[in-house]
Amino acid sequence: MTITLYVQGMTCGHCQMAVTNALQELDGVKRVEVHLQEGMVDVDYDETKVSVDKLKEAIEEQGYEVK
């Protein structure tokens, strides 16, 4: 599955790396692409291993808001 999440508060390379690393630590996440300018994160994942709620939770734990 591929999902696009809208994330508020990402402004720099550090933000990009924090979100990318948090998502890649989850079992089942295959690819993460952060678009800072648009405030979007594209995630390819295995829905049998990880839920959308877990993806959002991982981002929110880094201090960002998922819309």
Written in H, E and C, the secondary structure of the chain is: CEEEEEEECCCCHHHHHHHHHHHHCCCCEEEEEEECCCCEEEEEECCCCCCHHHHHHHHHCCCCEEC
Residue 52 has what pLDDT?
A: 97
Q: What is the CATH number of domain 2-66?
A: 3.30.70.100
Render pLDDT for 17-64 as a digit per residue (tens, 0 to 9). Answer: 999 999 999 999 999 999 999 999 999 999 999 999 999 999 999 999
Q: Where are the domains of the chain?
A: 2-66
pTM exceeding the 0.85 threshold for the entire prediction: yes
